[in-house]
Amino acid sequence: MAMTKKGMEEIEGKMAFISSTILKLNNQSQNIGEIIEYVKDLADQSNLLAVNASIEAAKAGEYGKGFSVVAQEIKNLADQSKESTTKIREILQEIQKGTNTAVLATEEGTKSVKKGREKVSETEEAFASIVQSVQESAQASKIILNASKEQLVGMEQIAEAMANIKEATTENLESTKQIQKVGRQIRDLAESLKKIVEEQAQ
C-alpha cells in the first residue's frame, strides 16, 4: 500500500515536471512568434525600400542599372523572408496548439493522479481500520476465552462442592439413623427399667 502511494506521488511529480516543461515550450513559441513578426516587418520594409530603389534606378537610366540589380536581389530576399516567416508562423501555431492540448492533458493527468493518491490514502486508512478491528476482535476473543476458562473452573468448584454436600448429607443421614437406633434402644431400656421398678415396688 505504501509503495503504491509512493508510486502515485512519483507519477504526480513527473506530470508536474512535464506540465512545467510544456508551459516553458509554449512561452518560448510565443517569443519566437514575436521575433517572426519583427522579421516580417523588416522584410516588408526591405521590400518597400527595394521597390523605391528600383524606381530611382530606372530614373537614373544607364547609371542605375547595377543598383537596380541589387535592389531586385533585396526584393527577392525580402519576399523569401516573408514567405519563410509565414511558414514558420504556421508551424508555430501548430506547436502552440499542440502544447495547449498537452498542457490540458497533463493538468487532467495531474488531477487524476491526485485523485488516485487520495483514493490510495482512503484505502490505506480503511485497511488500517480493518486491521485495528481485527486486533480488537482478537483481544475480545482472548478476554472471552479467559472468562470461559474461569467460568469452567468455577463450575468445577461448584460440582465439587455439590459432591461434598451430597457426601455430607449421606453421612448425616447415617448418623440420624444411628441416633434413632440408639434412641430406640434407650427407650426399650427405659421400658425395661420401668418394669423392674414396678415389680420391685409390689
* Residue 160, in any domain of the structure: no
Q: Are 142 and 26 in contact (CB under 8 A)?
A: no
pLDDT tens for 58-104 read 777 776 667 677 777 777 777 777 777 788 778 777 777 777 777 77
Mean pLDDT over each residue of the chain, to the nearest integer: 70
What is the CA 101 to chain-centroid distance, rounded? Answer: 29
Q: Determine the structural domain holding residue 145 and report its residue range.
A: 2-149
Residue 72's nearest CA partner among 51, 42, 99 is 51
Is the confidence at residue 54, as pLDDT, over 70? Answer: yes
CATH code of the domain covering residue 103: 1.10.287.950
pLDDT tens for 148-194 read 677 666 666 666 666 666 666 666 666 667 767 766 776 776 676 66
How many angstroms separate the CA atoms of 121 and 133, rounded? 18
* Residue 110, in any domain of the structure: yes
* Residue 65, in any domain of the structure: yes
The number of CA neighbours under 13 Å toward the Cβ of 67 is: 16
Is the confidence at residue 5, as pLDDT, over 70? Answer: no
Instruction: Quote the cell numbers at residue 12.
Output: 504526480
* Residue 143, in any domain of the structure: yes
Is the confidence at residue 38, as pLDDT, over 70? Answer: yes
- The number of folded domains in the chain is 1
Is the confidence at residue 23, as pLDDT, over 70? Answer: yes
pTM over 0.95: no
Q: Quick one: pLDDT at residue 168?
A: 62
